[in-house]
C-alpha cells in the first residue's frame, strides 16, 4: 500500500463538514473501540496459504454461487474478507518477492524468471525468525526456489521438483511432519508456515473425484465428465488453446480449485487437532488470477486487468468467530506488515506496505463510521506494474503500470495510451474512457508521483542461469522465456 504522500489530495468539502467529520471520528474512535478479547501472551502462529493463479471471482466468499471452494467459504465465515485486494504484478516471481519484502517489483528487481532476490532485502520470514519464530516455506511453483533467493529467513524451505505439478496433499503432509518435529523440540515456539499451491495453475489435471464433485454441483452428466478427462490428456498450452475449448479449460480450472480446497479442509482439521489454530493468524490469498478471453487474452503475465490483479484475500485473526467484510483497497505488500504487527514485531523501514491490523480490529460502529465518512476521506490506493520481460508475439505485453484508487483505475500502456475505468459502473473494464478528464488527470498525477518515488529505492538486478531441465519443466507449466 502506498503512503499518504502518494495519494492525491482530497476534494475540499468545506470547513464545517470536515470539522464535523473529524469530531465524529475522534468521538466514535474513543467511545466505540472494539471490545476484543485480551491478547494472548504468546505471539500467534502464522499460517499463510497462496493458491497460485486463483481468481477472486472463482471463490464463493465473494458471492459466486457456482463456486467450488466450500471449505474456504466456511473459513471466510470466521474471518475478514477483503473485497478490493490487489497484487503488485500479474505473474508469480515479482509478486511473491513483493509479498515477502513488502516492496514493489521495480524496487526489489525481480523482473524475469532468472531474477534472484537480493540478500540485502529484508523479508517477512527473516523478521519473524529474528523474533523467535520457527519458519517453514513449501512451494509447488518451481519459480519460487532457494537458488533464486526466496528461502531468506526460512529454517526450512523446499521447492518441489518431482511431478510437473506437485499436489497440495504432498505439501500439507510435509508441513504437518515439520510442525510435529518443531512441537516435539520446542513446544512453545511460534510457527510461521507458508504454502504455495499450484492446483489452479495450468496444466489442469484434477483427480476424478474432483470432476465428479464439479459434475454433481453443476448438473453435468457422465458424458461431460468423460469429455473433461479426455481433455486433460490432450490440452495444449493455455495461450495456444482454441476459443471453443475455453469452457472445458474453465471447468478443469474450477475442479482444480475444488481439489485444493478439499485438501486444505483436511490440513486445517489436522492443524486444529494439534492445537496449532488455537492461537493463529490465518491468511489465504493468491499471487494473481487468470484470463479466460475477457480481454482477448489467455493466461497471465501480459496485462493488468482485474481478472489478473484483483485477488482473493481472507484474513482470520486468532479467536475470530464471525465474518467481517472490508471494502478498503489494499495490496499484497500490506500482508508482511500486518503479520509483523500481529506478532508484535516492528516492520523494517524498507517495507512499503502498511499493517491492515487496524482495519481488521475495527468494531462494528467503527466500521459503520468508516463507511459513512468514505466520501470525505482520501480513497486508498493500490499499485501494480509489469516489466518488459516475456514480451512475445503470442502474448504481447500490453500494459506497464496500473493504479487503483477507490473505484477508479488508470492503466498506462506500452503504446503510450492509457485506459481509465470507473470500476463501480464498469467492473469488467470495457469502457476505456470511463473517467472524466479531471479524475483521469488526478490519477495520472498520482501515478507519476508513485513512479518517481519508487525509482529512488531500487536494488541492482541479479540473475541466475536456468538449466535445460528446469527450462523444459517451465515450458510445460506455460512459462516461456523465449529461449
Percent of the chain with pLDDT over 70: 83
- What does the pLDDT look like over 268-282, one tens digit per residue? 999 999 999 999 999
Average pLDDT over all residues of the chain: 86
What local confidence, expressed as pLDDT, does residue 34 receive?
39
Q: Where do the domains of the chain lie, and which CATH numbers do they carry?
A: 45-376 (3.40.720.10)
Residue 476 · residue 135 · CB < 8 Å? no
Cβ atoms of residues 394 and 240 within 8 Å: yes
Q: Render pLDDT for 75-110 as a digit per residue (tens, 0 to 9).
A: 999 999 999 999 999 999 999 999 999 999 999 999
Tell me if the pTM is above 0.85. Answer: yes
If you average pLDDT over residues 295-319, what whole number do you get?
95
Question: What is the band of 371 on the pLDDT scale with cuts at 50, 70, 90?
Answer: low
Residue where the block lists cell 518515488:
453
Burial class (CB in 10 A: 0-12, 13-18, 19+), 165: buried
User: What's the order of all strands across the beta sheet hosting 381-385?
Assistant: 381-385, 399-405, 408-413, 418-422
Q: How far apart are CA 61 and CA 224, in angstroms?
A: 27
d(CA 24, CA 16): 12
**316 neighbors 72 (Cβ within 8 angstroms):** no
69 prior amide bond cis, ω within 30: no
The whole-number pLDDT of residue 17 equals 46
Is residue 22 within 8 A of residue 373, CB to CB? The reply is: no
What's the confidence (pLDDT) of residue 330? 97
pLDDT tens by residue, 288-304: 999 999 999 999 999 99
- Grade residue 11 by pLDDT with cuts at 50, 70 and 90: very low
- Quote the radius of gyration of the chain (alpha carbons, Å): 22
Q: How far apart are CA 327 and CA 453, in angstroms?
A: 26
Give ∠ CA 372-374-376 in degrees, rounded to 5: 105
| Alpha-helix runs per DSSP H in 63-167 | 70-76, 92-101, 105-108, 124-130
Distance CA 357, CA 338 (A): 6
* Under 8 Å between Cβ of 332 and 98: yes
Task: Give the integer Cα–Cα distance in Å for 443 and 433.
Answer: 13
Cell numbers that stand for 86 in this block: 490487489
Amino acid at each position: 500500500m502506498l503512503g499518504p504522500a502518494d495519494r492525491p489530495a482530497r476534494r475540499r468539502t468545506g470547513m464545517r463538514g470536515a470539522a464535523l467529520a473529524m469530531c465524529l471520528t475522534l468521538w466514535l474512535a474513543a467511545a466505540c473501540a472494539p471490545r476484543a478479547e485480551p491478547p494472548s501472551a504468546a505471539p500467534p502462529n502464522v499460517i499463510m496459504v497462496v493458491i497460485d493463479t486463483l481468481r477472486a471471482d472463482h471463490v464463493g466468499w465473494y458471492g459466486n454461487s457456482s463456486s467450488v471452494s466450500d471449505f474456504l467459504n466456511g473459513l471466510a465465515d470466521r474471518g475478514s474478507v477483503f473485497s478490493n485486494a490487489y497484487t503488485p504484478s500479474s505473474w508469480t516471481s515479482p509478486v511473491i518477492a513483493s509479498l515477502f519484502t513488502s516492496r514493489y517489483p521495480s524496487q526489489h528487481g525481480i523482473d524475469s524468471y532468472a531474477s534472484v532476490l537480493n540478500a540485502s532485502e529484508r523479508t517477512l520470514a527473516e523478521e519473524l525468525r529474528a523474533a523467535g519464530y520457527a519458519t517453514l516455506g513449501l512451494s509447488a511453483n518451481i519459480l519460487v526456489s532457494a537458488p533464486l533467493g526466496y528461502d531468506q529467513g526460512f529454517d526450512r524451505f523446499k521447492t518441489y521438483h518431482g511431478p510437473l505439478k506437485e499436489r497440495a496433499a504432498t505439501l500439507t503432509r510435509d508441513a504437518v511432519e515439520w510442525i510435529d518435529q518443531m512441537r516435539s523440540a520446542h513446544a512453545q515456539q511460534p510457527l510461521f508456515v507458508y504454502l504455495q499451491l499450484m492446483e489452479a495453475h495450468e496444466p489442469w489435471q484434477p483427480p476424478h473425484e474432483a470432476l465428479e464433485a464439479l459434475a454433481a454441483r453443476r448438473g453435468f452428466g457422465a458424458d461431460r465428465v468423460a469429455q473433461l478427462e479426455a481433455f486433460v490428456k490432450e490440452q495444449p498450452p493455455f495461450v495456444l488453446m482454441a476459443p471453443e475449448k475455453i469452457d472445458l479449460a474453465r471447468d478443469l480450472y474450477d475442479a482444480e480449485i475444488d481439489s485444493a480446497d478439499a485438501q486444505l479442509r483436511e490440513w486445517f482439521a489436522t492443524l486444529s487437532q494439534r492445537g496449532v489454530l488455537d492461537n493463529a493468524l490465518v491468511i489465504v490469498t493468491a499471487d494473481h488470477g487468470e484470463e479466460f478471453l475477457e480481454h482477448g487474452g489467455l493466461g497471465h503475465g501480459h496485462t493488468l486487468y482485474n481478472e489478473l490483479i484483483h485477488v482473493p484475500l481472507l484474513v482470520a485473526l486468532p479467536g475470530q468467530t464471525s465474518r467481517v467484510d472490508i471494502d478498503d483497497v489494499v495490496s499484497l505488500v500490506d500482508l508482511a506488515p500486518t503479520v509483523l504487527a500481529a506478532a508484535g514485531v516492528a516492520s523494517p523501514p524498507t517495507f512499503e506496505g502498511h499493517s491492515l491490523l487496524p482495519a481488521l480490529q475495527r468494531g462494528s460502529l467503527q466500521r459503520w463510521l468508516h463507511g459513512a465518512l468514505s466520501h470525505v476521506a482520501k480513497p486508498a490506493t493500490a499499485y501494480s506494474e509489469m516489466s518488459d520481460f516475456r514480451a512475445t508475439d503470442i502474448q504481447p505485453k500490453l500494459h506497464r503500470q496500473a493504479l487503483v484508487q477507490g473505484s477508479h483505475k488508470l492503466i498506462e500502456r506500452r503504446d503510450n495510451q492509457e485506459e481509465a475505468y470507473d470500476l463501480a459502473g464498469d467492473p469488467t473494464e470495457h469502457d476505456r474512457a470511463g473517467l472524466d478528464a479531471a479524475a483521469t488527470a488526478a490519477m495520472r498525477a498520482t501515478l507519476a508521483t508513485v513512479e518517481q518515488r519508487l525509482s529512488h529505492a531500487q536494488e541492482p538486478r541479479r540473475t541466475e542461469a536456468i538449466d535445460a531441465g528446469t527450462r523444459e519443466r517451465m515450458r510445460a507449466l506455460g512459462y516461456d522465456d523465449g529461449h
